[in-house]
Each structure stands twice: as C-alpha cells, then as structure tokens.
C-alpha cells in the first residue's frame, strides 16, 4: 500500500498532481558495529522507524509532511579500527545535506527537519552555515533526545552505544537481528583525565580504546517492552512537533512568534 507520507512509495503521477509538501524529514543514520549482538544498520533502522511513524501520525492530523529516504552513512572517523565501519567525513555529510536542501528549495519546499540517529554526526554547524544561503528553514532533531527525560523511568541504564536502550529498540522492532547470547557487557574505559570524565573537557573518543567490542553500556537488561514504550513516547512527541512545523506559515518572523519590539537606542 502506498503511504502518502513516504517519498519512496510515491510516483510521479501523485507528486505532480499536488502542491509541494510543507515539511520534508531527512533521516540520518550510520553503518557501524553495535557490540557483538546488534546489526550494523542499527542507527538507520531506528531513525527510519521513528521517522515513518511520526510522519504517519502527523499526516493523519492533516500535516503535509514527507519522509525522504534515509542516508545510511555517517561520520565514523573514530570507529575505523572496527571492520566495515563506513565513514563519511563531516564535510562530506555537510555537502550531501547541502545538495539535498538545494533540491528541496528547487521543488518549493521551505521547511526541512534533519532527523538524526547517529551520535557521531556533528550537524549544528551545518544549519548555521546554510542559514544565509538557502530559503529552506532547517530544524535538527536527535531522535534519542526526544524522550531522554524518561530514560530513568524506563531503563536501568540506557547506555551510550548498543546498550540497554538501543538493544531494547531493536528487540522491539527487529528481534530476528539481535544475538543477545553474544553480547558483551559494554564496559567503557575511563579517560586518564578527570576533566574528560566529568564532561567539561571533550575529546574525540577512539572506540577501539574506549570499548572492547564497540559497545558502550550494558545491553543485558534490555527488553522489547522497553523499546516499545520508548518508541511510543518519541513518536507521540515528534509527531506533534512535525504537525506544528508543517502547519506554521513561513512569514517574515518564522520560526518566531513576533518580531521583537526594540525601544529607542539611548545616547
């Protein structure tokens, strides 16, 4: 069955008979190892699922939103010691996004959400760089942050990479791809610098030194029920946001409510 909110399902006859969509959603995934038990496509599977369901729900509320095909590659410069981690440098990711945004602009679409599913993708700077060069208003959402305020209520410890949260998500939606009997505990090595461990100093983490088998966080408490609960929370919140963005008119103050009132400048 053709899903009117999924571009890959549509044909030219449908597209040419309707006005441009109000909002395009571009999922950004990755191809990388996820411990010994989850598939290399974990990030792409998750972000595509969230995008499909949120766009469907927004569409059901009358939003003219379309889900673009997911980009299945991301930045993996710090995972390249693991076989078959497929890297796009940050500048390459930015170039791909720029070209796709230019395509949207050419087709009359003025709002685009970058729906990110890979923690290694550094994207905020791309929005800043494109801000003055495109008529498309860009939004950025990391799907795994949408319901992060509920993690402590759902998970023992959500984990960083292939831990309890991601394992629960794949158990919920792709259980045939999970080899739980092979999972390692996802122990992470601390930095020798407390400033890094405390979070106020940042580094690029070399994953072959940080982890044993690329997993960061214990996956063993994961369940499909936890993944279903998180999915529903994320989809519910994201769908509301998509509807709001899609239905909001692009005017001179978009995306703000009004133009600030500026008083006289004092001499």
Residue 179's CATH number: 3.40.50.10310
pLDDT in tens, the chain (267 residues): 999 999 999 999 999 999 999 999 999 999 999 999 999 999 999 999 999 999 999 999 999 999 999 999 999 999 999 999 999 999 999 999 999 999 999 999 999 999 999 999 999 999 999 999 999 999 999 999 999 999 999 999 999 999 999 999 999 999 999 999 999 999 999 999 999 999 999 999 999 999 999 999 999 999 999 999 999 999 999 999 999 999 999 999 999 988 766 666 555
Model confidence, pTM: 0.95
Residue 260 forms part of a structural domain:
no
Its domain, for residue 44, covers 7-247
Residue 255 forms part of a structural domain:
no
Residue 2 forms part of a structural domain:
no
| Domains of the chain: total | 1
| Gap between the Cα atoms of 35 and 184, Å rounded | 7
DSSP annotation string for 188-231: -PPPS-HHHHTTSS-----HHHH-SSS-BS--TT--HHHHHHHH
Question: Which residues on neighbouring strands pair with residue 137, listed in sequence order?
Answer: 111
Residue 257 forms part of a structural domain:
no
Helices (H), strands (E): how many in the chain?
9, 4
Measured at the alpha carbon of residue 161, what is the angle toward residues 173 and 41, in degrees to the nearest 5? 45
Residue 66 forms part of a structural domain:
yes
DSSP letter for 265, please.
P
Residues with Cβ within 8 Å of residue 198, at least 6 apart in sequence: none
Torsion angle in degrees (nearest 10) through CA of 138, 139, 143, 148: 160
Residue 129 forms part of a structural domain:
yes
Residue 256 forms part of a structural domain:
no
Residue 265 forms part of a structural domain:
no
**Residue 178: strand, helix, or coil:** coil
């Amino acid at each position: 069955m053709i899903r009117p909110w999924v571009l890959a399902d549509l044909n030219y006859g449908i597209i040419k008979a309707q006005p441009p969509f109000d909002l395009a959603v571009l999922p950004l995934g990755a191809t990388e190892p996820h411990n010994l038990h989850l598939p290399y496509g974990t990030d792409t599977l998750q972000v595509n699922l969230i995008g499909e369901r949120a766009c469907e729900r927004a569409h059901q509320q009358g939003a003219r939103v379309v889900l673009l095909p997911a980009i299945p590659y991301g930045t993996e410069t710090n995972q390249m010691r693991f076989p078959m981690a497929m890297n796009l440098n940050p500048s390459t990711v930015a170039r791909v996004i720029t070209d796709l945004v230019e395509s949207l602009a050419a087709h009359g679409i003025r709002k685009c959400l970058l729906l990110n599913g890979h923690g290694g993708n550094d994207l905020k700077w791309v929005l800043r760089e494109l801000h003055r060069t495109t008529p498309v208003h860009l939004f950025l959402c990391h799907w795994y942050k949408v319901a992060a305020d509920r993690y402590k209520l759902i998970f023992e410890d959500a984990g960083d990479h292939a831990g309890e949260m991601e394992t629960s998500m794949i158990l919920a939606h792709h259980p045939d791809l999970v080899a739980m009997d092979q999972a390692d505990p996802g122990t992470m090595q601390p930095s020798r610098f407390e400033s890094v461990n405390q979070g106020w100093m940042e580094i690029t983490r070399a994953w072959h030194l940080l982890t044993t088998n690329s997993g960061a966080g214990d996956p063993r408490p994961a369940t499909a029920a936890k993944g279903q609960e998180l999915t529903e929370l994320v989809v519910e919140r994201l769908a509301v946001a998509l509807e709001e963005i899609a239905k909001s008119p692009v005017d001179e103050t978009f995306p703000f409510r009004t133009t600030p009132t500026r008083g006289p400048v004092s001499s």
